[in-house]
Amino acid sequence: MDRVLACSSSSSLAACHKVLEGPLLSSLSSTTTTGAAGPLTMYVIEDKGGAIALMLASLLFLGTWPAVLTLLERRGRLPQHTYLDYSITNLLAAVLIALTFGQLGDSKPGMPNFFTQLSQDNWPSVLFAMAGGVVLSVGNLSTQYAWAYVGLSVTEVISSSMVVVIGTTLNYFLDDRINRAEILFPGVACFLVAVILGSAVHASNAADNEEKLSGSSDAYKLRISETVEPSKEVLEKDAPKDLENGASETKHVAKAEAGTAEYLIELEERRSIKVFGSSTFIGLGIVFFSGVCFSLFSPAFNLATNDQWHTLKDGVPHLVVYTAFFYFSISCFVIGVGLNILFLYRPMAGVPKSSFKAYLNDWNSRQWALLAGLLCGFGNGFQFMGGQAAGYAAADAVQALPLVSTFWGILLFGEYRKSSRKTYILLGFMLFMFVAAVAVLMASSGHRSTK
């Protein structure tokens, strides 16, 4: 999940800092070239209104694509199939952005266009971008399983908060302590509180579900309490019966009311990742692992675009945001596709085995998985483009994406329906601390250290 807390400009870090001080409308220059159709403006975003619009679109896209993948998992589509489709269009979005915004206009010193940079000796920065893509892909893949164990809302809040707690701290030192610590780190502390509250929300909601299920039939209670692994028994009964032809015999029953024990039972029988009988710590462990991965991506992208460690040769320009985005998207694609092809034959979390042939034949809801990849890809691209003009404030604002995910989680999936008052109180405090943390970090973005 694709979060960058660094200035995404190809100019020097000092130039990026000046962007925050001057008027946004004149903060970044544009390169133009005149042709038969008139002047072509290069990819640089100059207008404050345009930057805000891009960031709002990014916020919507990055908060929505997890809900789409969660919906498919709850409908029983194998996560390996879904992620393979998602990876294709996620890379496609990066290629389209690089070939359009990254290629418009002529190159200028210090800011070459996309094709020009492909032939330059900038491999140290490329490797940083690709390393960021690796941890980003592993983080996204982990969250696909975490959504099933912990729920969409809590997963996004915890992982996004960890991005800020770890990633912002690393970027603070990478960027030579540009932000005022007395404003920045109270915001980080608020995110840390949100992480703790998120864990408490999940534990409280899990206890609520256990209480609901305690009143269900004896046969069902027996099924989830047997000593054999629960997912295997459910798997034999409810797994797709004709994987090679992409077909499924998922049974259709009357839809139960969200939040009831019947709803939870039907959901478990229908979904592809079986979670009943699993430990609470398994889900939280996956979430924290994904949060660490997301946190490492941000500093890696920072190093790729700003070269604070001076790994590039003299005279070689820094990677522009589109070139860095292209390289890390390639590594995301390679890791995501490679791991999920492996998971087809060696699945995790009680997911049934599949095959590459079965994946190719599985057209059930494929359009939604492809859409999720486009939403994520363009959401990341818009975030970086808006960050060119708005700097840290714009990049940090995207960390509010769990607010969108929580909305979809409650609206589409009935999360926290018929839960206890304790769960609702914890959920409210978690969201409050998250909003407060985003506000504080946005305020810190506009204040440079006076050291």
What confidence tens digit (pLDDT) does each residue in 234-254 have?
334 444 444 444 444 444 445
pLDDT of residue 33: 38
pLDDT of residue 233: 41
pLDDT of residue 30: 41
pTM of the model as a whole: 0.74
User: Which region, left, alpha or beta, applies to residue 2 given φ > 0 means left and ψ of -120 to 50 means alpha?
Assistant: left
pLDDT of residue 282: 84
Domain boundaries along the sequence of the chain: 13-28+48-106+123-445
Distance CA 211, CA 230 (A): 19
- The ranges of the chain with pLDDT < 70 are 1-52, 105-110, 171-172, 175-184, 215-255, 276-280, 386-400, 441-451
pLDDT of residue 431: 84
What confidence tens digit (pLDDT) does each residue in 130-172 have?
999 999 999 999 998 988 888 887 888 888 878 777 877 786 6
pLDDT of residue 224: 46
Q: Which two tokens stand for residue 149?
A: 């164990």
pLDDT of residue 225: 45
pLDDT of residue 147: 85
pLDDT of residue 7: 42
pLDDT of residue 387: 59
